């Protein structure tokens, strides 16, 4: 993005905003404008004005975001408390005293943003008049160019922190509270009329007693400020007051308003007819008196006239010079003999300004005519400046006697005034820039504060998650320790079991009997010896007893085993004919004993013992 205020792309963008949305930013201070638009563009991730214009054309929802950034809405209740206190003590009583009890009081808060300024004025007027008179007489017009700000303003709502500058007693009297939320009292809010009004483009509201236009003018270039001030001047009653912001000095139009208290930025209107009236009175006071005068009076007048600090001459109704003071003679090179000559014969009648037409106009309109900053170029190249006033001289009966002409040399004051004016303008611009930058900083600060608040919240959340994690970690650690202890115990038990198992295996290996353990489905769980039947544990474990071909009629064991499992004493003994692994037949004594396994499932121990060989074998 360029920082050139005349960048043609920026100019095109501003034109587009005016044509499409009616917002005319051309009179706003370019540096501030550039900064604010730049800020919004950066937020939207756009580098240059042309691309931003395209973006606006495709995304109309971008307009409010842009206007919100450009139109800085910073405001507060009783912002600059000392100035509002001055208003309360000095100005409002004067407005009230200057009116009859039934007369309306009209206030205009222009550039009201979110409304706090208008409600502050309402509070002061209500305090001065009482609720009932306030409701009957007061109208507060609260306007802004920013519709979104006005929507917020109409609600008259604020958080406790927004009302910090409202004294507690006033807060209780003028606001209704709901938790942390305060709302300006409804019946008083009705006297505040909100509406969109553009100070640059719209006609002013009229007959205003108090015009509050604070921290708004400073966003405009001097030329636009001057135009707005003419409108504000028109808006005010002749006895009206103008209340500006802390950084606004009104230097561009000090002929329209005069400061009542410059520090508090309160001004009164200068009614426009005043100056002319005063000049008429002046001119008549210095006019000719009818009748003859004593010589001493004539001499006195001559001396007095020579002593005047201005060049001064008088012409009679025929245009003949009748009075001319010394200063006129010196300045314009006239001689005593020029007295009694028609002015039109002399150079002074047309140089440095056309006196003849000024005399004609003053005589014809019967009022003083003035020309400011009339320049006279001297042969040495220097210039002189004069304030020329031509006033008609009227006799008591109103008859025209002639005209007086005065030349006040304003060269030195002019130079000083110009310099002063320039310095004052520069000072004002600098002060306004400082103030508006300050407002921008306040906005940025608010944004930063909310980011910090968000970060703090996130941080708190992270801390509490961290604490939870730490607790979980501690729990896991203690569970882990417990598990390790259990594991060690299990390992010990497993070793013990292995030992017991080995011990049992050894016992079983030395057992003369064949021992098999079956589950309730008669599947072999344990098998101790191979000698009797010639099969090893590996060939029997997991197989059904009925499937084993071991020389024992296993099918005959089914019933005794079921009896052992289901019978009352769990023990059944029987003898069966069997054949051993060498093919010898013998009587095998079998004992079936039911038992419950560790898991509670029934199983049966079958013990087989070879008795006597069968006869005939
Ligand atoms: C910084 S605020 C001042 C608020 C309040 N007057 C105060 O001093 O606390 C400036 C206000 O001027 C408004 N504004 C800017 N240009 C305007 C215009 N052309 N016409 C009317 N209001 C305008 C903005 O919308 C913003 O609300």
Give 303-331 pLDDT, tens digit per residue: 677 777 789 999 998 999 988 888 888 88
Centroid of ligand 1 to alpha carbon of 284 (angstroms): 48
Pocket test for ligand 1, best of 73, 109, 216 (most atoms within 8 A of CB): 216
Residue nearest to atom 11 of ligand 1 (CA): 111
Centroid of ligand 1 to alpha carbon of 177 (angstroms): 28
Pocket test for ligand 1, best of 113, 121, 158, 232 (most atoms within 8 A of CB): 113
Looking at ligand 1, which atom is closest to the CA of residue 202?
20
Residues with beta carbon inside 6 Å of ligand 1?
71-75, 79, 111-113, 117, 144-146, 149, 198-200, 214-216, 219, 245, 439
- The pLDDT assigned to 395 comes to 82
- Residue 47 tokens read as 């580098």
State the angle between helix axes of 411-510 and 30-44 in degrees (0 to 180), rounded to the nearest 10: 20
Q: Report whether 232 contacts 211 (CB < 8 A).
A: yes
Centroid of ligand 1 to alpha carbon of 136 (angstroms): 28
- Cα angle, residue 134 at apex, residues 193 and 196 outer, rounded to 5°: 10
Centroid of ligand 1 to alpha carbon of 73 (angstroms): 6
Looking at ligand 1, which atom is closest to the CA of residue 199?
20
Centroid of ligand 1 to alpha carbon of 434 (angstroms): 16
Centroid of ligand 1 to alpha carbon of 457 (angstroms): 33
Residue nearest to atom 12 of ligand 1 (CA): 111
Looking at ligand 1, which atom is closest to the CA of residue 75?
9
- The pLDDT assigned to 459 comes to 84
Looking at ligand 1, which atom is closest to the CA of residue 113?
27
Centroid of ligand 1 to alpha carbon of 196 (angstroms): 11
Q: Report whether 107 contacts 209 (CB < 8 A).
A: yes
| Residues whose CB falls within 8 Å of the CB of residue 367, separated by 6 or more in sequence, listed in order | 276, 279, 280, 392
User: CATH homologous superfamily of domain 512-613?
Assistant: PAS domain (3.30.450.20)
Residue nearest to atom 9 of ligand 1 (CA): 75
Centroid of ligand 1 to alpha carbon of 72 (angstroms): 7
Residue nearest to atom 15 of ligand 1 (CA): 71
Looking at ligand 1, which atom is closest to the CA of residue 67?
25
CATH architecture of 102-272: 3-Layer(aba) Sandwich (3.40)
How many C-beta atoms surround the C-beta of residue 492 within 10 A?
10
Distances (CA, A) of 123 to 111, 134, 142, 173, 194: 19, 10, 14, 9, 16
Q: Please list the residues that pair with 268 across neighbouring strands.
A: 241, 258
Q: Is 538 helix (H, G, I), strand (E, B) or coil?
A: helix
Q: How far apart are CA 249 and CA 259, in angstroms?
A: 9
Consecutive H or E run containing 177: strand 175-178
Taking Cα atoms as reference points, which of 233, 224, 195 lies closest to residue 24?
Answer: 224
- Residue 111 tokens read as 């550039």
Residue nearest to atom 13 of ligand 1 (CA): 111
- The pLDDT assigned to 601 comes to 75
- The pLDDT assigned to 439 comes to 82
Instruction: Report pTM.
Output: 0.55
Q: Report whether 221 contacts 27 (CB < 8 A).
A: yes
- List, run by run, the mean pLDDT of 10-residue segments along the chain (617 residues): 78 94 91 91 94 95 92 94 97 97 96 97 98 96 94 95 94 95 95 94 92 95 91 94 89 81 93 46 36 51 72 92 88 86 92 94 93 89 91 86 92 81 82 82 80 79 83 87 91 90 79 83 83 80 88 89 85 89 86 80 84 63
Centroid of ligand 1 to alpha carbon of 248 (angstroms): 13
CATH tag, 277-288+296-404: 3.30.450.20
Centroid of ligand 1 to alpha carbon of 301 (angstroms): 58
Centroid of ligand 1 to alpha carbon of 160 (angstroms): 23
Centroid of ligand 1 to alpha carbon of 145 (angstroms): 7
Looking at ligand 1, which atom is closest to the CA of residue 245?
8
Residue nearest to atom 24 of ligand 1 (CA): 71
Residue nearest to atom 17 of ligand 1 (CA): 145
Any idea which fold 8-70 has? Chemotaxis Receptor Methyltransferase Cher; domain 1 (1.10.155)
């Amino acid at each position: 993005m360029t920082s050139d205020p005349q960048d043609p792309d920026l100019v095109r963008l501003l034109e587009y905003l005016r044509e499409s949305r009616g917002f005319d930013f051309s009179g706003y201070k370019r540096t501030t404008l550039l900064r604010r638009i730049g800020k919004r563009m950066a937020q939207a991730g756009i580098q240059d004005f042309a691309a931003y214009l395209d973006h606006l054309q495709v995304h109309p929802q971008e307009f409010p975001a842009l206007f919100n950034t450009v139109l800085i809405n910073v405001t507060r209740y009783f912002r600059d408390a000392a100035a509002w206190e001055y208003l309360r003590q000095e100005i409002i009583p004067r407005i009230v005293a200057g009116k009859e009890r039934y007369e309306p009081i009209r206030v205009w808060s222009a550039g009201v943003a979110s409304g706090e300024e208008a409600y502050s004025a309402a509070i002061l007027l209500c305090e001065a008049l009482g609720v009932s008179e306030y409701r009957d007489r007061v109208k507060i017009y609260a306007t802004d160019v920013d519709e979104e700000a006005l929507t917020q303003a109409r609600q008259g709502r604020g958080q406790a922190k927004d009302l910090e500058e409202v004294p507690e007693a006033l807060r209780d009297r003028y606001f209704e509270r709901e938790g942390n939320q305060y709302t300006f009292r409804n019946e008083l809010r009705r006297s505040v009329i909100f509406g969109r009004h553009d100070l640059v483009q719209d006609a002013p509201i009229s007959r205003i007693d108090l015009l509050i236009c604070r921290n708004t003018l400073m966003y405009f270039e001097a030329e636009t400020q001057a135009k707005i001030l003419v409108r504000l001047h028109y808006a005010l009653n002749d006895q009206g007051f103008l209340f500006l912001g802390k950084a606004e000095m009104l230097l561009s139009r000090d002929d329209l308003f005069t400061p009542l208290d410059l520090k508090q930025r309160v001004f009164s209107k200068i009614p426009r007819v005043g100056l002319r009236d005063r000049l008429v009175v002046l001119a008549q006071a210095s006019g000719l008196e009818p009748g003859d005068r004593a010589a001493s009076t004539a001499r006195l007048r001559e001396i007095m006239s020579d002593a005047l600090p201005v060049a001064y001459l008088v012409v009679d109704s025929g245009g003949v010079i009748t009075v001319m003071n010394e200063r006129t003679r010196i300045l314009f090179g006239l001689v005593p003999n020029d007295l009694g000559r028609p002015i039109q014969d002399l150079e002074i009648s047309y140089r440095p300004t056309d006196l003849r037409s000024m005399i004609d106009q003053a005589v014809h309109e019967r009022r003083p005519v003035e020309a400011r900053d009339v320049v006279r170029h001297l042969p040495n190249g220097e210039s002189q400046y004069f304030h020329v006033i031509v006033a008609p001289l009227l006799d008591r009966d109103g008859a025209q006697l002639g005209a007086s002409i005065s030349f006040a040399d304003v060269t030195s004051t002019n130079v000083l005034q110009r310099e002063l004016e320039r310095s004052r303008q520069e000072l004002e611009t600098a002060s306004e820039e400082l103030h508006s930058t300050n407002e921008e900083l306040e906005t940025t600060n608010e944004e930063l504060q909310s980011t910090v608040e968000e970060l703090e919240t996130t941080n708190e959340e992270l801390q509490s998650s961290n604490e939870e994690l730490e607790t979980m970690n501690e729990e896991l650690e203690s569970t882990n320790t417990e598990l390790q202890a259990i594991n060690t115990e299990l390992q010990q038990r497993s070793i013990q079991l292995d030992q017991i198992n080995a011990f049992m295996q050894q016992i079983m290996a030395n057992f003369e009997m064949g021992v098999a353990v079956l589950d309730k489905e008669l599947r072999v769980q344990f098998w101790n010896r191979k000698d009797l039947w010639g099969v090893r544990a590996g060939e029997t474990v997991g197989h059904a007893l009925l499937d084993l071909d071991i020389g024992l009629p296993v099918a005959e064991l089914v019933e005794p085993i079921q009896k052992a499992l289901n019978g009352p004493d769990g023990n059944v003994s029987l003898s069966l004919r069997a054949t051993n692994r060498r093919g010898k037949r013998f009587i095998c004594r079998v004992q079936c004993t039911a038992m419950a396994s560790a898991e509670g499932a029934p199983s049966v121990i079958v013990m087989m013992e070879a008795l006597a060989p069968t006869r005939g074998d």
